[in-house]
Amino acid sequence: MTGPSEATGPSDAALRAAAGAVPDPELPVVTLADLGVLRALRRLPDGGVEVDLTPTYTGCPAVETMAADLRAALLAAGARRVAVRTVLTPPWSTDDITPEGRRKLAAANIAPPRPTGTVLIPLSCPNCGSEHTTLLSRFSATACLALRRCAACAEPFDHVKER
């Protein structure tokens, strides 16, 4: 006899939880859901799942790893088949990062981006909170990060670039 979970497969909530828990390959302190790149998840009639993924920028080198990690997580959660579509419209924006994602970035000493249109708001140091920071380099460990230094505590820190 087949039990309900075997006949119907994993619940929508279980699939969304599995996909939402996949860490970003370049910033593993946040998940793809936290980052806002996980756009949609649809169940298909054959038991498969289709996922829409929007990279942080066109040509993002991490998109293939994100797709592979999503496939693995959803198959482990019980999906029969997984298709990941790269969707470029609407484009990703740093405004898509969730409040939880911003909190996790700051906790990892990575300054979250400022909301779009607020360029006059000073960028705060995630270590001490000082607004006296300077840009050291427009590039850091990944193309999505810039390197800054705090004038108050002298600590360098990464900053997620606004887009």
Which carries the bigger pLDDT value, residue 7 or residue 14?
A: 14
Q: What is the dihedral of CA 148, 65, 62, 106, to 10 degrees?
A: -30
pLDDT band at 4 (very low <50, low <70, confident <90, very high): very low
| Of the candidates 106, 105, 44, 48, the residue with the CA atom closest to the CA atom of residue 74 | 48
Place of tokens 């994602």: 101
As a whole number, mean pLDDT of residues 103-108 equals: 92
Lowest-pLDDT range of 2-6, 35-39, 49-53, 90-94: 2-6
pLDDT value of position 115: 72
Average pLDDT, stretch 132-156? 89
The more confidently predicted of residues 119 and 111 is: 111
Query: If pLDDT is split at 50, 70 and 90, which confidence band does 24 have?
Result: very high
Where would I find the H helices in 21-154? 32-35, 63-76, 99-107
C-alpha separations of 1 from 5, 9, 78, 156 in Å: 12, 15, 19, 60
Our CA angle for 107, 103, 146, nearest 5°, is 70
Mean pLDDT estimate for the chain = 88
Q: What is the pTM of this model?
A: 0.77
Q: Which amino acid is present at 48? A: G
Q: Which residue has the tokens 């981006």?
A: 113
Closest CA to 74 of 12, 139, 146: 12
Region 70-90 average pLDDT: 95
Tokens 């198959």 -> residue: 75
pLDDT of residue 3: 35
